[in-house]
Amino acid sequence: MSLQNVTLHVPPKDKLSGRLDVLMMVSGFLLALFVGMHMVFVGSVIISPKLMNALAWFFEELYLVQIGGPVILLVMVGHFILGARKMPFRQKEYVAFRAHSKMMHHTDTTLWLVQVATAIIILVMASIHIYTMLDTLPITAAKSAARIQHGNWMPFYIVLLAAAAIHIVIGLYRIGVKFAVVTRENRPKARKFMVYLLVAAAVISFLTHIRLSLLTI
């Protein structure tokens, strides 16, 4: 028992730090899983708009969208708050970290700043996205195409998608590192795999957008 914080030991042992850490990892992982499935769902338009419509109908009939949407939003905000504990919000911290990353020229260190930036982007843009989606139910391929073709939403989605993909890829790698799944031995492999994952996401998103912008409404 550490004498440094023995005074805190009269109450039952406090395992909060660990649980928050687990929660952050689990929420991140679930969100990543969701985004992956979401990408497959929207990507189904590449095969056929009808398939996408059918899937959307299926999810809505089961109230997965109406309940799932807000839940995802909540999980996302929760995940952000958990992550924000580490973010350099204080100016002193930010300056220190910037100086550090500039000094080190170290990819993994720089990527963390990217992680912070994309987190904030996603928080704002994904909230907007979820709100508009839920506001204009039901989801159909035609509506999505209309937003891309006439609603000037294209730049919005490109930024959101890029941010989400990058954040998730870095995040998964980081979870792996933190919990010794990515080890010294397999780290080069893991990094390569993450790059492939990012490319795959980019390709699917690109094709989806092409398909949606070519879709006749």
Where does this chain bind another protein (CB under 8 A)?
1-5, 9, 13, 15-22, 25, 85-86, 88, 93, 96-97, 99-101, 103-106, 108-109, 112, 174, 177-184, 187
Question: Which residue do the tokens 């109406």 mark?
Answer: 66
End-to-end CA distance of the chain: 68
Question: Taking the alpha carbons of 22, 69, 66, 210 in that order, is the dihedral positive or negative?
Answer: negative
CA distance 57 to 207: 22
Question: Which residue do the tokens 């993909």 mark?
Answer: 165
CA distance 58 to 87: 39
- For residue 107, the minimal CB distance to another protein (Å) is 9
Question: 116 vs 141, which CB is nearer to another protein?
Answer: 116
Question: Which residue do the tokens 């679930």 mark?
Answer: 30
The residue among 127, 123, 120, 125 whose CA lies nearest residue 87 is 120
Confirm if 148 and 212 have CB atoms less than 8 A apart: yes
Question: 36 vs 88, which CB is nearer to another protein?
Answer: 88
- For residue 112, the minimal CB distance to another protein (Å) is 6
- For residue 183, the minimal CB distance to another protein (Å) is 5
Tokens of 40: 């497959």
Question: 161 vs 168, which CB is nearer to another protein?
Answer: 168
- For residue 208, the minimal CB distance to another protein (Å) is 31
- For residue 92, the minimal CB distance to another protein (Å) is 8
- Give CA angle at 24 (20, 25), nearest 5°: 120
150 alpha carbon, distance to own chain's centre: 27
Question: 4 vs 216, which CB is nearer to another protein?
Answer: 4
Question: 25 vs 162, which CB is nearer to another protein?
Answer: 25
CA distance 181 to 79: 21
Question: 100 vs 192, which CB is nearer to another protein?
Answer: 100
